[in-house]
Amino acid sequence: DQQVKQNSPSLSVQEGRISILNCDYTNSMFDYFLWYKKYPAEGPTFLISISSIKDKNEDGRFTVFLNKSAKHLSLHIVPSQPGDSAVYFCAARPGGSEKLVFGKGTKLTVNP
């Protein structure tokens, strides 16, 4: 049973436009959500996070939105740059847990 779902395996956008990556979850016990970025043959790096008590968190070009009623979060990248091309993983933490549950990832390609 996949608790964190990234239904789009890939996304392609033009440089300068907005990239929107989506993530749905099923476990209402998740209290913290994170986005990681991963380049090929490298480990993921933390990008941005949001607590379940908030609905938006912003860091430069990256904004994460959380809609708890819909059990949906999204990552917005504005403006998109070619260097943003990578696989993006959505992750969630069940409250009080030592584990993160990861989605399958979305491969973003930003075309010059």
Partner 1 sequence: DGGITQSPKYLFRKEGQNVTLSCEQNLNHDAMYWYRQDPGQGLRLIYYSQIVNDFQKGDIAEGYSVSREKKESFPLTVTSAQKNPTAFYLCASTRRGGVRVTGELFFGEGSRLTVL
CB of 15 to partner 1, least distance (A): 27
Residue 10: how many other CB atoms lie within 10 Å: 10
Give just the sign of the alpha carbon dihedral 74, 46, 106, 92.
Answer: negative
CB of 112 to partner 1, least distance (A): 27
Q: Which is nearer to partner 1, 9 or 16 (CB)?
A: 9
98 in contact with partner 1 (CB under 8 A)? yes
Stretch of residues binding partner 1 (CB under 8 A), selected from 11-19, 52-60, 69-77, 88-96: 88-96
* HEC-encoded secondary structure of the chain: CCCEECCCCEEEEECCCCEEEEEEECCCCEEEEEEEEECCCCCCEEEEEEECCCCEEEECCEEEEEECCCCEEEEEECCCCHHHCEEEEEEEEECCCCCCEECCCEEEEEEC
102 in contact with partner 1 (CB under 8 A)? yes
Binder of partner 1 out of 24, 89, 108, 110 (CB under 8 A):
89
Considering only residues 23 to 82 of the shown chain, the ones binding partner 1 according to CB under 8 A are 32, 34, 36, 41-46, 49
Residues engaged in binding partner 1 (CB under 8 A): 4, 9, 32, 34, 36, 41-46, 49, 89, 91, 93, 96-105
